[in-house]
Structures are given as C-alpha cells and as structure tokens.
Amino acid sequence: CDRFAIGRTQISIMFKKRVGCGVIEYMNQLKIDRAKTYIREDVYNLTEISELLGYSSVHYFSRHFKKTTDMTPSEYAKTLSKGFTRITK
C-alpha cells in the first residue's frame, strides 16, 4: 500500500476485480492446490503437508481441505490411487 500510495480497500477491490475473489480466498486456494500437488507426489504425509503449508494442525488442514474440495485429504489420495490402478490395468 505504501509503495504504490493506494489504500488497502482500493487494492482489495482491484485484486477482486482482476482475480475474481478476495486476497485471503485466493491464498487459501493456492494452499489447497499445493496440498493436492504434495498428495499426488506422495513424498510427504498429511501432517508434514499441513506443516509445510503453515496450518496450525493437521485437523485444521483436513477441515479446510474438505471445505474447499468436498473431500478429505485421505479421500483425495484414495481417488488418485484408484484412478492410477485403473489406468495401469
């Protein structure tokens, strides 16, 4: 805000007009997208993913993931493994 001499409200309005959602909502969606990537890569467990993304607990991460995707991180991982086994058969 200081750098461009624009108020927070004005920046928020400009951001929402350009991106289609608020800053916090956008950042949360980025976190969930990153979580999906981590789950697909299967390098980290869910506790590690929640820590990497800055969640205070794996439970809060799971609730946020489910609210955003309509499935828990575990359910998401299972759908990936089911899809993979179908493709490889």
Total number of residues shown for the chain: 89
Amino acid letter for position 14: M
Mean pLDDT (whole number) for 62-78: 94
> What CA–CA distance (Å, rounded) separates 11 from 31?
21
pLDDT tens profile 25-61: 999 999 999 999 999 998 999 999 999 999 999 999 9
CB half-sphere exposure, 31, CA atoms < 13 A:
21
Angle at 68 between CA 87 and CA 23, to 5 degrees: 125
What is the average pLDDT value for the chain, to the nearest integer?
89
pTM of the model: 0.80
